[in-house]
Amino acid sequence: MKNKPLHPGAAVEIRSAPHVKAPRSVEQIMRNVVYSLLPICGFFVFQYGISAAFSIVAITASCLATERFFVKTGTQSGSLSDFSATITGILLALTLPPGFPLWMGAVAGFIAIALGKALFGGIGFNVFNPALVGRAFVQAAFPVAIATYTPSFLPGRFGEFIPSSLAWPLMVPADTVAWLHAKQLDALSGATPLAKWKFDGILASAGELLSSMSGHMAVGPSPVLIILCGVYLALRRFMDWRIPLAIVGSAGLTAWILFAIDPHSYPNPFFMLFSGGLILGAVYMATDMATSPVTPGGMWVYGALIGLLTVLIRYYSGLPEGVMYAILLGNAATPLIERITQPTPFGKSGLLSPKRRATYPLHPEYISREEANAVTPKKKSFKPGKKS
């Protein structure tokens, strides 16, 4: 063997094992999340037309520009190619009303990246979900604009902007109610189902909520579509299934208990789950990797906390919607949750101490399929030696 290129003494950087790597990268995970968001964006545009399309583009562009600025100046780590800012932008756009003034959207995008991410040092270091930081900021800064929804499936939505979209910066946006009035659509309210329930006591029907297909309702993307996209991510292991399940389970359970106590003053749990942004929040917002716990036990606790808080905020606060604050509170609690749910290292669970049990049954589940069909004694017992 000629060893021209590998003669002894050639400088080699020594790395430890493992010497092979799984074909997976941050960029790949984030790119797949973006792919899974595309159908949802498409549906959103289908619902609200050109305003929604411009809103998504403007907010995402603002996020990307901000990210680029902070990466360039060295304030934060990461790069544009990891798609994380794209996700932030799209999610932020999906949580805002479609007729949200574009300049306000751009501000929200800037705040999301600057205060939500760059301030902490970039990807992986942020404490709060950047998209929700942006949304929380504009909710405080522009409370009227963020509560102004228009009905979906308006005629002519692909040719005409919702007038508030094109508001000049720092100017009062055009009056959407007057615009709707002028279109003789004032019979339809621009309120979301949650706001309707909270302030008018009107419940939307189940089918309308699930599909988001019935017109003239101010709703976000269809929960069914979001769940389908979430299932894709979970199956391809780009997302952990525990958090969405825990949120939906906990919110559903809380709502069901309240409904069982007093069906007259509380809506049915189904309405709670599929109205507002709960499903979008559970599948895409709460599962943000950097801001959610990494321990499996912690994921359940975190999800349960968010579900509970969402329902409580919706019922007992002055706000119609509570998902955003519930998730931000969950984000804040993440370090604490991780600390109390640290997994037990192998061989340290006291229950398995060999001193407690004289014999040990063989776990039949642990044997592979083939072996399970084979004739094996059901129980095996070991007598530990005198020493143990």
Partner 1 sequence: MKFMKLFRRLKGIGWGVHPADHKRPAADAPVRAMPVSARLYLPLQQHLGGPARPVVLVGQKVRKGELLAEAQGAVSAPVHAPTSGVVVAVTEVAAPHPSGLTLPAIILEADGLDEWTELRGCDAPFALSAAEIGRRVAAAGVVGLGGAAFPSAVKLVGAARARVAALVINGGECEPYLSCDDRLMRDSAPAIVDGIRLMLRATGAGRALVGIEDNKPEAIAAMRAAVAGIGAVRIHAVPARYPMGSEKQLIQVLTGIEVPADGRPADIGVIVHNVGTALAVRAAVREGKPLISRLLTVNGRCANRPGNIEVRIGTLAEEVIAFAGGLKGDGLGLARRVIGGPMMGVQIPHWRVPVVKGTSGILALDATEVDGIAGRETAPCIRCGSCVKACPMGLLPLEMSARIRNGAFAEAIPFGLKDCIACGCCAYVCPSHIPLVQYFAHAKGELAGQERDRLRAEATKKMARQRQERVEREAREKAEAAARRKAGRAAAAGKQGEPACFNPRPD
Partner 2 sequence: MIAAILSLTLLGAVLGAVLGVANKFLHVESSALAGELIEMMPGSNCGQCGFPGCSGAAAAIADGTASPACCPAGGKTLAAQLAAKLGVAVDLSGLSGEGPKIATVAEELCIGCCRCGKVCPTDAILGAARQIHDVLREACTGCASCVEKCPTGALVMRPVPVTLQHWVMPKPLAA
User: Which residues make up the interface to partner 2 (CB under 8 A)?
Assistant: 13-16
Contact 255, 269 (CB under 8 A): yes
Provide Rg for the chain, Cα atoms: 26
Contact 188, 195 (CB under 8 A): no
What contacts 24+ positions apart, CB below 8 Å, involve 327-331?
A: 327/129, 327/132, 327/281, 327/285, 327/286, 328/128, 328/129, 328/132, 328/133, 328/136, 329/305, 330/286, 330/292, 330/302, 330/305, 330/306, 331/127, 331/128, 331/129, 331/132, 331/291, 331/292
Among 35, 69, 120, 125, binds partner 1 (CB under 8 A): 125
Q: Which is nearer to partner 2, 15 or 348 (CB)?
A: 15
Residue 15 or 386 with smaller CB distance to partner 2:
15
Q: Given the complex with partner 1, which of 31 and 216 has the nearer CB atom? A: 31
Stretch that binds partner 1, among 34-42, 118-126, 149-157, 168-176 (CB under 8 A): 118-126
Is residue 26 a contact residue for partner 1 (CB under 8 A)? yes
Output the smallest distance, CB 16 to partner 2, in A.
6
Cα–Cα distance measured from residue 222 to residue 224, given in angstroms and rounded to the nearest whole number: 5
Q: Going residue by residue from 142 to 181, which x/- string records binding to partner 1, judged by CB under 8 A?
A: ----------------------------------------
**CA 136 to chain CA centroid, nearest Å:** 15
For residue 206, state whether it binds partner 1 (rule: CB under 8 A).
Answer: no
> At closest approach, how far in Å is the CB of 17 from partner 1?
5
Q: Which two tokens stand for residue 164?
A: 């508030």
Minimum CB separation of residue 220 from partner 2 in Å reads 39
State the binding partner of 362 from partner 2, partner 1, none, CB within 5 to 8 A by kind: partner 1
- Phi/psi at 6 (5° precision): -135, 45
Compute how many other C-beta atoms are within 10 angstroms of the C-beta atom of residue 377: 7
Does 28 bind partner 1 (CB under 8 A)? Our answer is: yes
- For residue 378, state whether it binds partner 1 (rule: CB under 8 A): no
Taking CB under 8 A as the criterion, which residues in 312-351 touch partner 1? 342-349
If 0-12 CB within 10 Å is exposed, 13-18 middle and 19+ buried, where does residue 132 land? buried
SS3 371: helix
184 binds partner 1 (CB under 8 A): no
* Helices 296-316 & 242-261 angle (0-180, nearest 10): 40
Among 171, 187, 264, 370, binds partner 1 (CB under 8 A): 370
From the list partner 2, partner 1, none, which binds 279 (C-beta under 5 to 8 Å, kind-based)? none
Taking contact as CB under 8 A, which single stretch among the options 12-20, 140-148, 152-160, 174-182 is the one that binds partner 1? 12-20
- Binding partner selected for residue 107 from partner 1, partner 2, none, CB under the kind-specific 5 to 8 Å limit: none
**Closer residue to partner 2 (CB): 77 or 295:** 77
Measured CA distances, 171 to 33, 84, 166 (Å):
36, 31, 10
Please give the distance of CA 159 from its chain centroid, rounded to a whole number. 31
* Neighbouring-strand partners of residue 339: none
> Are 88 and 59 within 8 A, CB to CB?
no
The answer to whether 236 contacts partner 1 (rule: CB under 8 A) is no
Answer with the entry of partner 1, partner 2, none that 9 interacts with (C-beta below 5 to 8 A by kind).
partner 1
Binding of partner 1 by 295 (CB under 8 A)? yes
Beta carbons of 226 and 239 less than 8 angstroms apart: no
CB closer to partner 1, 156 vs 385? 385
Residue closer to partner 2, measured from CB, 84 or 152: 84
CB of 125 to partner 1, least distance (A): 7
Closest CB to partner 2 among residues 16, 368: 16
Residue with tokens 């002028």: 182
